[in-house]
Amino acid sequence: MKNYIQIKKKIIPYNKTIIVSSDKSISIRCILLASQAIGISKIFNVLESEDVINTLKSIKKLGIKYKKNKKFYKIYGLGLKGFNTQKKLVLSAGNSGTFARLILGLLVNSNNYIKIIGDKSLSKRDFSRVVQPLEKFGPIISSNKGRLPVTIKGTDFLRPIDYIEERGSAQCKSSIMLAALKTPGMTRIKAKKSRNHTEIFFKNLNIPIKLKNKGKYDNIVVNGEANYRGFNYRVPGDISSCSFFIVLTILNKNSKLIIRNVNVNSTRTGIVKILNKMNAKIKFKNIRNYKGELIADIEVKSCKNLKAINCPEYLNSSAIDEFVIIFLVAAKSKGISTFKNLGELEKKESPRLTVAVNFLKEIGIKVSRKKNNVKIYGQPGLELNGNYIIKNFQKDHRIFMMSCVAALTLGGNWKLFDRDSINSSFPDFFNVLKKLGVNLN
Ligand code: S3P
Contacting residues for 197 by C-beta, under 8 A, at least 6 apart: 25, 26, 29, 170, 174, 265, 293
Whether pTM > 0.85 for this model: the answer is yes
Answer whether 199 contacts ligand 1 (Cβ < 6 A). no
Ligand 1 contact via 332 beta carbon (within 6 Å): no
State the catalytic residues. Answer: 321
Could you give phi then psi for residue 219, rounded to 5 degrees? -95, 125
Second CATH level (architecture) for the domain 24-234: Alpha-beta prism (3.65)
Amino acid sitting at position 94 = G
**What is the residue with the minimal CA distance to atom 4 of ligand 1?**
321
Q: What DSSP letter does each residue of 224-277 carry, written as one string?
A: -----B--EEE--B-HHHHHHHHHHHHHSTT-EEEEEEEE--TTT-HHHHHHHH
CATH topology of 4-22+236-435 equal to that of 24-234? yes
Q: Considering only CA atoms, which residue is closest to atom 11 of ligand 1?
A: 25
> What string of pLDDT tens digits covers the 441 residues of the chain?
688 999 999 999 999 999 999 999 999 999 999 999 999 999 999 999 999 999 999 999 999 999 999 999 999 999 999 999 999 999 999 999 999 999 999 999 999 999 999 999 999 999 999 999 999 999 999 999 999 999 999 999 999 999 999 999 999 999 999 999 999 999 999 999 999 999 999 999 999 999 999 999 999 999 999 999 999 999 999 999 999 999 999 999 999 999 999 999 999 999 999 999 999 999 999 999 999 999 999 999 999 999 999 999 999 999 999 999 999 999 999 999 999 999 999 999 999 999 999 999 999 999 999 999 999 999 999 999 999 999 877 789 999 999 999 999 999 999 999 999 999 999 999 999 999 999 886
* Pocket of ligand 1 contains residue 196 by CB under 6 Å: no
CB-ligand 1 contact for 195 (6 Å cutoff):
yes
Residue 344: CB within 6 Å of ligand 1? yes
Give φ, ψ of 14 to 5 degrees. -145, 160
Q: Maximum distance among all alpha carbons in the chain?
A: 64
Atom of ligand 1 nearest to the CA of 321: 9
What is the homologous superfamily of the domain 4-22+236-435 according to CATH? Enolpyruvate transferase domain (3.65.10.10)
Q: Where are the alpha helices (DSSP H) in 283-375?
A: 323-331, 352-362
Q: Where are the domains of the chain?
A: 4-22+236-435, 24-234
Residue nearest atom 10 of ligand 1, based on CA coordinates: 321
The pick from 23, 194, 317 for probing ligand 1's pocket by mutation, whose C-beta has the most ligand atoms within 8 angstroms, reads 194
Is 290 in contact with 234 (CB distance < 8 Å)?
yes
From the CA of 174, give the closest atom in ligand 1.
12
Q: Does 396 sit in the ligand 1 pocket, CB within 6 Å?
A: no
